[in-house]
A and B are shown apart, each in its own frame.
Chain A
Amino acid sequence: DGGITQSPKYLFRKEGQNVTLSCEQNLNHDAMYWYRQDPGQGLRLIYYSQIVNDFQKGDIAEGYSVSREKKESFPLTVTSAQKNPTAFYLCASSITGQAPYEQYFGPGTRLTVT
């Protein structure tokens, strides 16, 4: 059963701690993405990767870091430098190079930092 998994669904951390959110896909997609969503808002792009061992900053990359060592995995680390980390985080993946350009989203991780 192909898809994207994110874990955990809910995550609680104390301020000042780094935390890593997991994202795994078995769709054989080349591209993967991380978004952040705040209440009542649209999604904002944090980082994206179109190929293994390469990634680019999105619109709000400050305070976040990623790695893409395997095609299937694109973990996101929320560092202590991120001033307002409490949000809903969504991972997505897509094929590249042909229409339809559809992104498949995971179920999301809700991070709460106190």
Chain B
Amino acid sequence: LAKTTQPISMDSYEGQEVNITCSHNNIATNDYITWYQQFPSQGPRFIIQGYKTKVTNEVASLFIPADRKSSTLSLPRVSLSDTAVYYCLVGDFNTDKLIFGTGTRLQVFP
């Protein structure tokens, strides 16, 4: 399983775009990149998943460079309700277990 490295914490203000980068140098050919969001005392919630290039859904975008050794989660125009912990996971999820690191704690200020 590829190890991931992401910042421990980030601060932002309402209305700003937030980019959280995750490093995964040992990513394997069959690995996907997935991001989850977790609020206190709740289970994580799936945000987005990608394999290469760019993926966009209604809440976020995921940018993956050609070498796939890193990825960036982009949250457009954050609000106070985006204050949470964000986890980057890498793996062949069809066969692998999910490994959650400590994540990035995002604090959004008014």
Stretch at the interface among A13-21, A71-79, A92-100: A92-100
Segment 68-108 of B: residues with Cβ below 8 Å from A: 87, 93-94, 97-103
A: number of interface residues (CB 8 Å): 29
Report if A96-B94 is in contact (Cβ < 8 Å); known contacts: A42-B100, A43-B44, A105-B44.
yes
Q: List 8 A-B contacts (CB under 8 A).
A: A33-B98, A42-B87, A44-B100, A45-B99, A90-B43, A99-B51, A100-B46, A101-B32
Query: A101 with B100: in contact, given A43-B44, A88-B41, A90-B43 (CB under 8 Å)?
Result: no
CA–CA, A44 and B100, complex, Å: 7
Residues from chain B with a CB closer than 8 A to the CB of A40 are: 102
A68 to B44 alpha-carbon distance, docked (Å): 23
Contacts beyond the supplied A42-B101, A101-B34, A106-B43: 5 A-B pairs with Cβ under 8 Å:
A45-B97, A100-B32, A100-B34, A100-B49, A105-B43
Least Cβ–Cβ distance between B24 and chain A, in angstroms? 15
Does B29 make an interface contact (CB < 8 A)? no
A99 to B30 alpha-carbon distance, docked (Å): 12
Taking the complex as formed, is A110 at the interface, i.e. its CB lies under 8 A from any CB of chain B?
Answer: yes
With a 10 A CB-CB cut-off, give which of A41, A88, A102, A106 has the most chain B CB atoms. Answer: A102
Rounded to whole angstroms, the CA-CA distance of A100 and B98 in the bound complex is: 13
Given A42-B87, A97-B94, A102 and B49 touching (CB < 8 A)? yes
B54 within 8 A of A: no
A42 CA to B32 CA in the complex, in Å?
A: 19
Contact between chains at A101 and B41 (CB < 8 Å): no
